[in-house]
A and B are shown apart, each in its own frame.
Chain A
Amino acid sequence: NAGVMQNPRHLVRRRGQEARLRCSPMKGHSHVYWYRQLPEEGLKFMVYLQKENIIDESGMPKERFSAEFPKEGPSILRIQQVVRGDSAAYFCASSGPLNTEAFFGQGTRLTVV
């Protein structure tokens, strides 16, 4: 799972700022998943993307959150106008196209002050 790269590892934002979290999947993987882990809680699914397509965003908050996975470059999870409740660890996972297992990155820990 070391092949899934997330950056930054730690991000501090003031309330109202924007947060951009990046995820580079493992080589050859075209499926990306984002999960959020609130303090003292389990991981909750947010969004599932393939290249240039959002497949399932049923776990995404309706406002301020967006995700993309462009043809070139990493997947981006964007949080606009952050609030204290957005403070969490955000994990990205990637998998290949043939029902293969998903591997996780090391996560980005967002702190909103």
Chain B
Amino acid sequence: AQKVTQAQTEISVVEKEDVTLDCVYETRDTTYYLFWYKQPPSGELVFLIRRNSFDEQNEISGRYSWNFQKSTSSFNFTITASQVVDSAVYFCALSETSGSRLTFGEGTQLTVNP
């Protein structure tokens, strides 16, 4: 069975601070995919990133970066120089294949205060 744990229920930071959202996963599959989604107050789900289990390179996209550590089954997400518009619920998710059902974590509510 697959499981995703986001231990941080809520995080509150002040604008321009860096913030890291933790994600730990469990799976017996040797091939799997990891995702991060953003859910702003408007409610839609915004895709942020997909990584497969064979690619452990860290990735940076603007102020966003992701640290995939297979040894600790973690896929953490860092926002550098946070902004108020980053306030949202962030979900980490896991799937056996890229197009298959996703197992989501419970989400982390990030609030960035001005």
> A residues near B, CB below 8 A?
1, 31, 33, 35, 41-45, 48, 56, 59, 89, 91, 93, 95-104, 106-107, 109
Contact = CB atoms under 8 A, between A and B. Distances in A.
A2 to B, nearest CB: 9
Contacts of A35: 102, 104
Contacts of A109: 43
A104 B35 CA distance: 13
Interface of B: 37, 43-47, 50, 91, 93, 97-107
Contacts of A97: 99
B105 A45 contact: no
26 contacts: A1-B44, A1-B45, A31-B99, A41-B106, A42-B104, A42-B106, A42-B107, A43-B91, A43-B104, A45-B103, A48-B100, A48-B101, A89-B43, A93-B102, A96-B99, A97-B99, A99-B97, A99-B98, A101-B98, A101-B99, A102-B98, A102-B102, A104-B37, A104-B44, A107-B43, A107-B44
B105 A99 contact: no
Contacts of A107: 43-45
B31 to A, nearest CB: 10
B41 to A, nearest CB: 13
Contacts of B37: 104
Nearest to A47: B101
Contact of A45 (B46, B98, B102, B107): B102
A40 to B, nearest CB: 9
A43 B50 contact: no
Contacts of A31: 99
Contacts of B43: 89, 106-107, 109
Contacts of B107: 41-42
Contacts of B103: 45
